[in-house]
Amino acid sequence: MQRICLFPGTFDPVTLGHVDIITRALPLFDKIIVGIGTNTGKVPMFSAEKRLEWIEKIFQDEPKVSGAIYEGLTINFCNKINARFILRGIRYVSDFEYEKTIADANRQLDKHIETIFLTGEPKYTSVASTIVRDIIRNGGNASAFLPDLVAASLA
């Protein structure tokens, strides 16, 4: 059975921290699907289609990575794509507390899907999509936090 993993998030925008987690997870899984979740409680800065385009272009030479847009419960999407693992990146202890709560709920919903946590590289701990969006909204240069392709598309 293939080790299929879902890396869910909003990726609004895709940051170097996201790319770091995906790249370091490659040896662990046969396939990583970057799931761009739509959250009715959030109004994204970039369309889901634009975020998907970024993921597909960044990882165009990596056959183990693909992207998808989904709605609803992450666990339901995992079942739809036959993913038995959920990948989450952790920057700080507070991230772990929040992510563990979600992982525990997901385990209650489906005990066959395991959440895997990877800690971010220290150089990316300050990289958060929320901060990057604030920099962009206020006319700042966020390129230090973004893959070149994303930064170039915003210029």
- Per-residue pLDDT tens for 123-152? 888 878 888 999 999 999 999 999 999 999
Q: What's the pLDDT tens digit per position in 86-132?
A: 999 998 888 899 999 999 999 999 999 999 999 988 888 887 888 89
Catalytic choice (3, 42, 80, 137): 42
For residue 60, with 0-12 CB atoms within 10 Å meaning exposed, 13-18 middle and 19 or more buried, which class applies?
A: exposed
Known catalytic residue: 129? yes
Domain ranges within the chain, ordered by starting residue: 4-154
Known catalytic residue: 143? no
Catalytic choice (3, 31, 51, 129): 129
Known catalytic residue: 107? no
Known catalytic residue: 123? no
Integer angstrom CA distances of residue 13 from 31, 102, 105: 22, 22, 26
CATH class of the 4-154 domain in this structure:
alpha beta
**Stated pTM of the model:** 0.94
- The closest of 118, 121, 145, 110 to 25, measured between CA atoms, is 118
What's the mean pLDDT in 35-52?
89
